[in-house]
Structure 1
Amino acid sequence: MFFAASKAFWLFAQPVSLVLLLLLAGLAFLILKKRRMAIASLSLAATAQFLVGFTSLGYVLIQPLEDRFEQPSELPTNVGAIVVLGGATMARPSSARGVAELNQAGDRLTTTLWLAQRYPDARVILSGGGGFLMGETESEAETMRRFFTSFGIADDRLMLEGNSMNTDENASFTRAMIDQAEDGARAVLLVTSAFHMPRSIGIFRKQGIAVMPWPTDYRSSGRQGFELDIANPNQNLETATVAVREWIGLLAYHLTGRTDDLFPAQ
Structure 2
Amino acid sequence: MFFYLSKIFWAPAQPLSVILLLIAVGLVLSIMGRRRLALVVQGLAGLTVLLVGFTSLGSVLIQPLENRFPRLAAPDQISSIIVLGGATQSRIGGARGVTELNAAGDRMTAALVLARRYPDAPLIFSGGIGTIISEGETEAASARRFFLEQGIPPERLVLEDQARNTDENAQLTAGLIAERHGPAILVTSAFHMPRSVGLFRKMGVDVVPWPVDYRSTGREGFGFDIANPVLNLEVTGIAVREWIGLLAYRWSGKIDEVLPGP
Matches within 5 A, 1:1-266: 1-72=1-72, 74-180=73-179, 182=180, 184=181, 186-266=182-262
The share of aligned pairs that are identical, in percent, is 55
- Code of the residue aligned with 1:244 in structure 2: it is V
TM-score (normalizing by structure 1): 0.96
Report how many aligned residue pairs link the two structures: 262
TM-score (normalizing by structure 2): 0.98
- RMSD across aligned positions (CA): 0.9
List alignment gaps of at least 5 residues for structure 1.
none
List alignment gaps of at least 5 residues for structure 2.
none
Post-superposition offset of 1:187: 2.4
Q: Separation in 1 of the partners of 2:37 and 2:84?
A: 44
Q: Separation in 2 of the partners of 1:6 and 1:136?
A: 19
Post-superposition offset of 1:133: 4.1
1:40-78 per-position Cα deviation (integer Å, ceiling 9, x unaligned): 110000000110000000000000000000112x22111
Is the contact made by 1:84 and 1:125 (CA closer than 8 Å) also made in structure 2?
yes
Report which stretch shifted further, 76-85 or 192-201. Answer: 76-85
Matched position secondary structure for 2:79: strand
Is the contact made by 1:92 and 1:134 (CA closer than 8 Å) also made in structure 2?
no
1:209-260 per-position Cα deviation (integer Å, ceiling 9, x unaligned): 1111110100100110011100000000000000000000000000011001
Q: Separation in 1 of the partners of 2:214 and 2:59?
A: 10
- Code of the residue aligned with 2:35 in structure 1: it is R
Matched position secondary structure for 1:113: helix
